[in-house]
Structure 1
Amino acid sequence: MADLEGIAKKLLQKGIADEKIIHNLIDQYKIYKSFPDNVLRKMAAAILKESKISLSATSQSELNQKIVINKLLGIPQADITMGQGGVGCRGQGDFYVHDLLAKLSQTSVKPHISPLSLDDTGAIDLNFNSSAISKSKIILTKMEGMHSRLSDYPFLAGFHVTRAALRDIYVKGGNPLSIMVDVHLADDGDIGKLFDFQAGIACVAEVAKVPITAGSTLRIGGDMVIGDRLTGGIAAIGQMEYSFFRKNIQNGDIILMTEGAGGGTITTSALYSGQPEVILKTLNLKFLKACKLLFQNPSICSGIHSMADVTNGGLRGDLYEINNESQLGARIRPEFVKSLVDPKILEMLESNNIDFLGVSLDALLIFSSAEVAPKIIDLLQSNGIKTSIVGEVTPNPEIIFVSPDGEEKIIPRFRESAYTPIKQVVDKDSMNSAKNEIRILQAYQKAQEKRKYFETMLKHNSN
């Protein structure tokens, strides 16, 4: 995929001559388009013209409006790219930026659970005028993006992103009510990709008995981006039946984990390591089944304080985020975790030097009282879901992995485990420095100032 507008603007900023830019754009076009050269030249010239106009947008405004236009169109530059900052890589860089994004998201209207929790699911209280919180009035909200490396495998992308969205509703104690779809396909993508993506979504929706209620379909970048890349996400809405939020975790809680065979990450790893047969292990709904079984037993759920799925940066990353919200720690036995990873999945991970503790396993973590833990194990294992105790919650806010070789204090790595060949190359160069965080923080502060400026303008104009 090629962002023609981005290429044109980057070359203009480097002072490259117009004719060379046009030739570059034509070469990009020829990868995907079979139009005559004269047509490609017209298209390239049009892109160059639009790029020039948009770059000069601020200089075209009247003097008394220029400051406002500059503020509106200007981007608070961090001079740190997504890759350099580790954003989307489920590690320390990702957590740092998402913490700032969560702070930027705060408004005077307070949700029941806000992005500040760094949880995968938020919540709103429909009964906000009452001092008593009614669980039937708590609505859970979730937005899940598809795995970017599954663009060429839309059915799998749709299947796993939908399952993940529903999973995050369930772990917060909610029953999913609705699925909504957002899909973007680049200009040269075959329309069949849309159908394949939707088929994967509908497959999970049918088996899970959750309706698809709305959606949006767009081209990536319109006419400015060529290629056949697919991206998108799933939004899910649920109604809370039990309160399983991270803030409810208590000191002394037992940590249980169900078997994990992975989802989008494991699927990607299998595809790009030449082991596609492993993908079949990921096509299951045991996670959702486990949650439904628990929900049907209120006496057991009364002893469950929180649930989570092993996704963001693996167990290393998830425990860090959970610890951040609960202000408690955990002692984990990695060998017990390892015994719950599907043998075929584990074999693939080990053969590719992928740390099973730093990659998404799509297993269910349950934080419960010691009294109810054996009942959880009996219930799930009697229904074919392997489950065991993997650790306990501690008052000291540290994550400790305990093994026969001793104890190890765990902090998230800069990125999650490198689970594809390209990641193993890129991840050798970590740039998670204090200097980078300062630049990122400065960009965040500028964005806050911009937000406040235009909030003031809107309030003034509405009077």
Structure 2
Amino acid sequence: MDIEGFTRNKIANGSNQKVLEEILAKRIMEYKDISYESASAMAQSVTEEVNNTLKINEGNDEFLKDIIDIPKADIAMGEMGVGSRGAGDFFVHRKIAEIVASAKADSLINPTAQDDGGVVKARSNTEDIYITTAVDGIHSRLSEYPFLGGFHVARASLRDVCVMGADPVAIISDLHLADDGDVGKLFDFTAGVAAVSELIDVPIVAGSTLRVGGDMVLGDRLVSAVGSIGVSQYPPTARKRAESGDVILLTEGSGGGTITTTAIYNGFFDVVWETMDINFIKASNALIKDDLVKDIHAMTDVTNGGLRGDAHEISTTTGLGLKFYHEKIKEMVSPKVLNMLETLDIDPLGVSIDSLMLIAPKDVAKKIINSIESVGVKIAEIGTVDDTGIPRMIKSNGEEEILEPLFREAAYTKIKKLVGDTTPEDFDIMKEKVQKAAINSIAKKDKVVKYIKDN
């Protein structure tokens, strides 16, 4: 429970302070084994601190007021589908990318490309070195399963480095556990990350550990992120390098955090073991070892919004068309995972199956297949790239379906099915509000930068 947010909301709505402190004290006692007197003192401290922050608006420092005033979109995260890997989420990420780009700090690949990782170029003696970085957050529903959360978020971060054609060299970890969380959760999460580190011989080199919201958030929610750093002597295999005439290859996917969550919350516990592998990284390392990265035009992991989302983003970024064959894609989903998804009526093309998708010239495809199969990972050709500008799928009956991301990724838990994935009727209005908030954020950034430079 976010007691600061709760208090701020109640004060803004004119709640009686004494009544508010009574409610807060009772809420605090639900989480902490303390006396009513202690809980009441904490509640009074919270309301006093929040009231103090509101005094900023009573002062004469207009610039400070401007800085602390959030450029609100009046659209909530859940309403917009942020984090749900669909059309709403992709739109917000493009706005974040615009804010990043407004800083005008040079990079080779940044969030505007909507790619898996970012890349900067450096010089080492006479050679160009490409440094790739990526960061991923733990799946929110794995807070109660820290080892699995750590294992899968580490894999996800490393995948994002690998698909840019880089060799992973370091892992970093950031942990936030709420005030009432057991310290053992920190160790369990770290052990999950360390398991991946040991399996692929890439060291964990740094990290941070804090409480979620400090004293202001009660409960035991774990939120965290793992970052990875990789290096390469070749330019990144970014999506924008795809060319018409290329073939599309896909490795077998058995899922990661999303499939693990689906398995646990729907009772398919044996499927959890399907996800516990490092096949993706083995496949990527094989390509580096066989010096094939330079010949590959683009690589991506089938994660955000599933293949539907990836196909749409690649097509949008490149202006090219992609043609997929449904039956060939299904053959590249682990049989146990596919059975679970079909049993639960979950679209395999709309969820993260954690396959490696490669786009390369036809004359290189056989070498890529041989390289990846040599390390025991299944791979097959599933489609082609053309100049139609449309991502589409050929079904088993020969019908053609345009691949578009849903408003949210395919619902893989009961609560997600209740929330639904249909696009809101006022989605265009929502986008306009979000766009305005992003523009206002850039304006604030510019104002602060100018102030600091001038002073």
TM-score by length of 2: 0.96
141, 157, 163: which one aligns with 1:165? 157
Q: Which residue of 2 aligns with 1:420?
A: 413
353-362 or 381-390, which deviates more: 381-390
250, 253, 262: which one aligns with 2:255? 262
Q: Is the 8 A contact 2:237 2:293 kept in 1?
A: no
1:428 to partner: Cα distance:
5.4
Q: Which residue of 2 aligns with 1:191?
A: 183
Q: Which residue of 2 aligns with 1:125?
A: 121
441, 445, 448: which one aligns with 1:451? 445
Q: Is the 8 A contact 1:313 1:415 kept in 2?
A: yes
Q: Which residue of 2 aligns with 1:318?
A: 310
The AA in structure 2 aligned to 1:297 is D
Q: Which residue of 2 aligns with 1:38?
A: 37
Q: Is the 8 A contact 1:147 1:265 kept in 2?
A: yes
The AA in structure 1 aligned to 2:121 is D
Q: Distance in 1 between matches of 2:439 and 2:398?
A: 45
Partner SS for 1:194: helix
- Count of aligned pairs between the two proteins: 451
Q: Which residue of 2 aligns with 1:395?
A: 387
Q: Does 1:110 align with 2:109?
A: no
Q: Does 1:219 align with 2:211?
A: yes
Q: Which residue of 2 aligns with 1:230?
A: 222
280, 284, 294: which one aligns with 1:291? 284
1:41-56 superposed matches below 5 A: 41-56=40-55
1:222 to partner: Cα distance:
0.5
Q: Distance in 1 between matches of 2:355 and 2:233?
A: 21
The AA in structure 2 aligned to 1:434 is D
1:347-358 superposed matches below 5 A: 347-358=339-350
The AA in structure 1 aligned to 2:387 is P
TM-score by length of 1: 0.95
* Structure 1 vs Structure 2 CA RMSD: 1.6
1:268-317 Cα distance to aligned partner (Å, 9 max, x none): 1111111222101100001111111111112x434321111000000000
1:238-292 Cα distance to aligned partner (Å, 9 max, x none): 1124431112111111000000000000001111111222101100001111111
Q: Distance in 2 between matches of 1:302 and 1:451?
A: 38
Q: Is the 8 A contact 2:178 2:214 kept in 1?
A: yes
Q: Does 1:84 align with 2:79?
A: yes
Unmatched runs of 5 consecutive residues or more in structure 1: none
Q: Is the 8 A contact 1:58 1:73 kept in 2?
A: no
Q: Is the 8 A contact 2:135 2:227 kept in 1?
A: yes
Q: Which residue of 1 aligns with 2:240?
A: 247
1:377-396 superposed matches below 5 A: 377-396=369-388
Q: Is the 8 A contact 1:246 1:326 kept in 2?
A: yes
Q: Distance in 1 between matches of 2:294 and 2:123?
A: 23
Q: Distance in 1 between matches of 2:183 and 2:323?
A: 49
323, 333, 341: which one aligns with 1:331? 323
Q: Which residue of 1 aligns with 2:90?
A: 95
1:51 to partner: Cα distance:
1.4
CA, structure 1 residues 94+428, in 2 after alignment: closer, same or farther (shift >3 Å)? closer
Deviating beyond 4 angstroms after TM superposition, the runs of 4 or more aligned structure 1 residues are none
Q: Which residue of 2 aligns with 1:71?
A: 66
1:86 to partner: Cα distance:
1.0
